Structure 1
Amino acid sequence: MKNLKNLIGMGLMTLAFTTTYGCETKIKKETKTLIAHAVTADDSEPKNNTVKIALLLDTSNSMDGLINQAKAQLWDIVNKFTHAKCGNEERPALQIALYQYGNDNLSSREGYVQQVLGFSDDLDEISEKLFSLTTNGGEEFCGEVIQTSLKQLDWGKNEDHLKMIFIAGNEPFDQGKLNYQDAVTNAKEKDVVVNTIFCGNYEQGINTYWKNGARLTGGEYIAIDHNREIVHIDTPYDEIIIKLNSKLNKTYISYGALGASKMESQRIQDSNAMEMEEAVAVKRAVSKSSTLYKNSKWDLVDAVEDEMVEVSDIPKEDLPSELRGKSNTEIENYIDTKKAERKRIQKEIQEANKKREAYIAKNQKEGSTGELENAMLNAIKKQAEKKNYTWD
């Protein structure tokens, strides 16, 4: 139940399409100053070297194992992706979108398809939406969900960006009124690669067109046992990382209309990860120590560092209670203190994680990482080379 995290990771890292383009070698940096309460998701423009992944999950009755894998393995995928680099040594930005299909609770008029989340780089939000998914029988129309994601999402026209769809399910790929071949042809025209994950027998997936759906865009076809549980290895460093995560949370300074609710969301997603398994909580903590975990929309430390706000422009009512009576200089000093503290804690988490990974490598049995994880990472490495990405 813990492999789909690599699904997203594969998505994250399947950094390639069959084109001659590569990641951009020149970074165009642009800064902007915004009033705290005016910052929204629409204010941020896509960065150079952006990877866009749309994850399309079958949420019919038989897919509980798949959904659990997605919840558990999100952080593995993110952590793998933190090691990706372009030729200019810049880390690519990551955006993930989420769709569900094949669920009776969804509208039949919409083809039993629903956008759960548009492209987002908010890791807490992505986790929250994954944990909101529930299963209920239904009609699984692969062509419909692919076409819907192509129409609704802003894929952009930058040919250097890596754009991928990962669709997972277990019913024939050709079901529904919309021909899947038309949908994947549209994907290819948009420079979007379609990767298919069949939850069942490899040959059965081929016979029901899952392999063909991937082949038409140069994507990867993968068959997995979605109900297989992955055994995580407990290490002496797990408790250390979890304690450091608690300290890390205390370095966040909420501000603006989103502040309180987003800080609560951070806590809830920590809890969701811990309820699945301690190892999942550890991996989430490692993700939070990376550059991919940014919260400029609600955290003053990230917002100031990213030049999203000026302290002097923030209305006093948008500040947390402990800062409302402070001068601008006092607030800036407080932010600097929290920033230094955060960097120290993140470094400690990274150092502990290196020891954790070495311990796991020494004690892990061959093949225990799971079918999905192995298949996806192999696909990622192969496709990444086509976009000139490298890994630390």
Structure 2
Amino acid sequence: MKTVFKQSILALFFVSLTACQAKTKKLETTVALNQPETHKPTTASKANKQFIKVALLLDTSNSMDGLIDQAKAQLWEIVNELSYAKCNAMKPNLQIALYEYGNDNLNGNEGYIRQVLAFSQDLDEISKELFSLTTRGGNEYCGYVIQTALNQLQWGNNPDDLKLIFIAGNEPFTQGRVPYKVAGKLAHSKDVTVNTIFCGDYNQGISSYWKDGADVTHGNYMAINHNHETVHIASPYDASILELNNKLNKTYVAYGSYGKDKMELQAEQDVNAQGYSEANAVSRAVSKSSHLYKNASWDLIDASEAASFEYKNLKDSDLPKALQGKSKEEIKSYLDTKRNERKAIQEQIQDLNAKRKQYVAQQQKEGNNSLENAMLNAIKSQAKKKNYKWE
């Protein structure tokens, strides 16, 4: 139904979002319940941090396969750019929520809308859900899905948080029983900015009210070249970064009932990224070396950094075989060694990526009208209003 959608989906990322409330995505809640109490990430240690929260609303009606491919191909570069943001001298966390709409497989009584993922910091899970999306024709109700995301998600009250909705499509913005202006006023009351991405001609997007839909909350209206294909530029540093990524994976210490499955998911998303190109796999490796890649729900190193963590509360049954039967001191020593190893690898990846970014910038053509550029330009322009800066 909409080949023009090929670029909109990237809006979904960036994306490229993040709250530290315990009410995040369903999977995180399930994981937390399966871990010892002392392993649960605490909200207290993060209460004063700033967050970038992004809700990505994508149409999964007919002909959306190319759009979804765009998002898969560009996700990690968006995340990487967001990892360089700072607010009040602090690096904000990122959280992404994902909705699909306009698909006949969805419940018509609920506006053909489905919450795929509530706000989450789990980048592997976000990638997994993106790869699981399928398309089918349907009705696209923009106002309805915006209102649903505003009411269902935990946006919080921190005035320093950057709260954004990105919705992409090419059908009239006026469809459905929820007027987009009503949804826009609700967004404004929650300090959420709605950005619209029309896949097609700029003026056509204006005439079908996509620009007006963004203007209600002082968001950005963007029209993109729906035929644009993601071009991955290889660099001389790619092979070294991928080699370091393999070493990085070996620093994870899975624990608890979900540990093994989550390690497998990590490897699976490495493969998915590699499926697009080596350069895309490199972008994912860079994301994994940033502060945005957190796995406290299943990685013992990340979990041990929580303020409430205590080694004495660890159960042998939750530990990997290599640590079962070990004393508190032996476990701490093992984790410290792995932590230092991970930090060194991440720093090497970041150093190589700085050189890679410079090389890619020199090779890129000017005037790239891609979803990635549109998204990042919108995020940065709105972030300035809340004193966010980029390193």
Q: Same fold (TM over 0.5)?
A: yes
Return closer, same or farther for 1:271/1:41 CA change in 2, 3 Å cut-off: farther
CA drift at 1:44: 4.1
Which residue does 2:383 correspond to in 1?
Answer: 384
CA drift at 1:372: 2.1
Moved more, 310-319 or 60-69: 60-69
Which residue does 1:238 correspond to in 2?
Answer: 238
Which residue does 1:221 correspond to in 2?
Answer: 221
Return closer, same or farther for 1:10/1:117 CA change in 2, 3 Å cut-off: closer
- Alignment of 1:331 with 2:331, yes or no, is yes
Return closer, same or farther for 1:75/1:227 CA change in 2, 3 Å cut-off: same
Runs of 4+ aligned residues of structure 1 deviating over 6 Å after TM superposition are 39-42
In the alignment, is the contact (CA less than 8 A) between 1:167 and 1:196 conserved in 2? yes
CA drift at 1:96: 0.8
Q: Distance in 2 between matches of 1:303 and 1:135?
A: 37
Which residue does 1:50 correspond to in 2?
Answer: 51
Question: AA paired with 2:389?
Answer: T
CA drift at 1:376: 2.6
In the alignment, is the contact (CA less than 8 A) between 1:2 and 1:73 conserved in 2? no
TM-score (norm 2): 0.89
Which residue does 1:68 correspond to in 2?
Answer: 69
Q: Distance in 2 between matches of 1:40 and 1:152?
A: 27
Report Cα offsets for 1:190-219 as digits up to 9, x if no partner. Answer: 111100011111111111110000000000
Question: AA paired with 1:73?
Answer: Q
Q: 1:62 aligns to what SS in structure 2?
A: coil
Q: 1:167 aligns to what SS in structure 2?
A: strand
Q: Distance in 2 between matches of 1:124 and 1:214?
A: 30
Return closer, same or farther for 1:325/1:2 CA change in 2, 3 Å cut-off: farther
In the alignment, is the contact (CA less than 8 A) between 2:54 and 2:165 conserved in 1? yes
Question: AA paired with 1:264?
Answer: E
Equivalent of 1:8 in 1, 13, 17: 13
Map 1:269-308 onto structure 2 (within 5 A): 269-308=269-308
Moved more, 117-126 or 66-75: 66-75
In the alignment, is the contact (CA less than 8 A) between 2:7 and 2:370 conserved in 1? no
Q: Distance in 1 between matches of 2:7 and 2:327?
A: 48
Report Cα offsets for 1:333-370 as digits up to 9, x if no partner. Answer: 11011001101111111111112112112222223x44
CA drift at 1:7: 5.5
Q: Distance in 2 between matches of 1:145 and 1:42?
A: 30
Instruction: Tell me the percent identity.
Output: 59
Moved more, 184-193 or 114-123: 184-193
CA drift at 1:313: 0.6
Q: Distance in 2 between matches of 1:177 and 1:153?
A: 21
Higher relative contact order (CA 8 A, sep 6+): 1
Q: Distance in 2 between matches of 1:207 and 1:219?
A: 17
Aligned residues, how many? Answer: 370
- Root-mean-square deviation (CA), in Å? 2.1
In the alignment, is the contact (CA less than 8 A) between 1:235 and 1:360 conserved in 2? yes
Which residue does 1:101 correspond to in 2?
Answer: 101
Map 1:1-392 onto structure 2 (within 5 A): 5=10, 8-9=13-14, 11=16, 36-38=35-37, 44=43, 47=47, 48-87=49-88, 89-367=89-367, 369-392=368-391
Q: Distance in 1 between matches of 2:8 and 2:144?
A: 25
CA drift at 1:329: 1.2
In the alignment, is the contact (CA less than 8 A) between 2:196 and 2:222 conserved in 1? yes
